[in-house]
């Protein structure tokens, strides 16, 4: 059971507004073959929430109407959804760049043995969680045996051209294991590339360093250890106003498995819906006739996690 988290919505974080939609980020469901300590959506093997066929069928229409160039598929393990490949094919046919936030171990689950080849066939950008290049650290955060499977998954993707073919982008994601800010992204990327090549012959394009958000499973862990308020103080003490202009929420709309709209994936987990003066519960259907340009963004104290230090987003640090 998750510990009760403090209310984060009362905040002194500065007001911000969104720009035109560039990225549609879709959470296809919370079911996952792993259960990671840092997971802010509390995904796992026992979760059953999955996006309906009705919502799935709306996605291509939304992409066309707003001329969205990037579709970011997440979960859980997004590949588990029975319509995952339908979504990828439809977006690819529209010339939309698809991102698959892949945990790598899903590539070895029954029924998913050809997933890597499918991703390569459709030039899907793979963003894979890899919290360290050390087995002991990865398994501590993500479960026993995850590191070895992740390495095999990366090698499988490399064999298909990921990390070397310009059309097949492979990016890795680093999260700190505890209540600390990520290290310098560029310096850590150099370390990752050196160690993964030297020991496993693995190539990848970029490393994204992400701050852990004080919500859901990670926030509950902080509460249980008496570290929640210290971590919030750390985020606020390292606030950098220069990161505000590049926050991902300004050009991304996040959609949960029910089709509800949010400014970001973290607001989604807190139930902080995208503000809409005409609709208290904006839904994917509303994007057929609304664009939300210049809309106010729903802010709360966890927003300091995206503006602390070098900044944090689903695309990594906001500045060097």
The domain limits of the chain are: 23-213+247-296
Taking residues 288-311, report their average pLDDT.
Answer: 94
Question: What pLDDT sits at residue 111?
Answer: 93
Q: Is the pLDDT of residue 141 over 60?
A: no
Question: Under CATH, which number does the domain 23-213+247-296 receive?
Answer: 3.20.20.70
Q: Give me the numbers of helices (H) and strands (E) for the chain, helices first please.
A: 10, 8
Q: What pLDDT does 147 receive?
A: 84
Place of tokens 């990865």: 138
Long-range contacts of 135-144 (CB under 8 A, 24+ apart): 137/177, 140/177, 141/36, 141/37, 141/38, 141/175, 141/177, 142/34, 142/36, 142/37, 142/103, 143/34, 143/35, 143/36
Q: Is residue 264 exposed (0-12), middle (13-18) or buried (19+ Cβ within 10 Å)? A: buried
- pLDDT the model gives residue 233: 96
Q: Are 82 and 63 in contact (CB under 8 A)?
A: no
Residues comprising the chain, all counted? 320
Q: Which of 264, 213, 208 is nearest to 25 (CA)?
A: 264
Region of poorest pLDDT, from 91-100, 164-173, 273-282: 273-282
| Mean predicted lDDT score pLDDT of the chain | 90
Report which secondary-structure segment, H or E, holds 74: strand 70-74
For Cα atoms 37, 24, 162, give the angle at the middle one, nearest 5 degrees: 70
- Give the Cα separation of 319 and 246 in Å (integer): 9
Q: Is the entire prediction scored with pTM above 0.85?
A: yes
Q: pLDDT tens-digit profile of 36-57?
A: 555 556 667 788 899 999 999 9
Dist. CA 126–CA 141, nearest whole Å? 21
HSE of 306, CA atoms in CB hemisphere, 13 A = 23
> Per the structure block, which two tokens stand in for 298?
């729903």
Q: pLDDT per residue over 199-218, tens digit each?
A: 999 999 999 999 988 887 78
CB atoms under 10 Å from CB of 279, counted, come to 14
State mean pLDDT over 249-260.
96
Measured from the Cβ of residue 293, the count of other Cβ atoms closer than 10 Å reads 11
**Interval 66-81: pLDDT, tens:** 999 999 999 889 999 9
pLDDT digits (tens, 9 = 90+) for 160-206: 999 999 999 999 999 887 899 999 999 999 999 999 999 999 999 99
Q: How confident is the model at residue 1 (pLDDT cuts 50, 70, 90)?
A: very low
> Are 244 and 16 a contacting pair, CB within 8 Å?
yes
- SS3 category, 320: coil
pLDDT of 139 > 70? The answer is no
Higher pLDDT, 15 or 9: 15
Q: For residues 18 and 318, what is the distance between their CA atoms, to the nearest angstrom?
A: 16
Percent of the chain's residues with pLDDT above 70: 90
């Amino acid at each position: 059971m998750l510990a009760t988290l403090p209310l984060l919505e009362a905040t002194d974080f500065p007001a911000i507004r969104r720009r035109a939609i560039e990225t549609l980020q879709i959470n296809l469901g919370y079911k996952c073959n792993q259960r990671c300590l840092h997971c802010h959506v509390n995904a796992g093997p026992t979760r059953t929430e999955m996006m309906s066929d009705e919502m799935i069928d709306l996605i291509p229409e939304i992409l066309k109407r707003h001329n969205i160039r990037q579709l970011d598929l997440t979960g859980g393990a997004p590949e588990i959804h029975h319509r995952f490949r339908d979504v990828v094919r439809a977006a690819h046919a529209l010339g939309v760049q698809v991102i698959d936030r892949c945990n790598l171990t899903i590539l070895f689950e029954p029924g998913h043995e050809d997933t890597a080849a499918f991703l390569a066939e459709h030039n899907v950008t793979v963003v894979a969680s890899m919290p360290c290049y050390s087995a002991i650290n990865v398994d501590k955060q993500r479960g026993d045996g995850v590191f070895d499977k992740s390495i095999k998954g990366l090698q499988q993707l490399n064999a298909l051209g990921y990390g070397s073919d310009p059309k097949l982008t492979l990016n890795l994601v680093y999260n700190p294991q505890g209540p600390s800010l990520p290290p310098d992204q560029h310096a850590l990327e150099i370390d990752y590339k050196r160690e993964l090549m030297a020991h496993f012959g693995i190539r990848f394009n970029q490393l994204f360093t992400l701050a852990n958000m004080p919500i859901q499973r990670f926030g509950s862990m902080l509460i249980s250890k008496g570290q929640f308020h210290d971590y919030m103080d750390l985020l606020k003490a390292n606030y950098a106003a220069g990161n505000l202009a590049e926050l991902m929420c300004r050009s991304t709309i996040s959609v949960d498995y029910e089709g509800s709209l949010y400014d970001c994936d973290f607001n989604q987990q807190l139930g902080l819906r995208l503000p809409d003066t005409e609709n208290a519960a904006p839904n994917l259907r509303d994007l057929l006739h609304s664009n939300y340009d210049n809309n106010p963004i729903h802010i709360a104290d966890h927003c300091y996690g995206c503006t602390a230090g070098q900044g944090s987003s689903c695309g990594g640090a906001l500045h060097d």
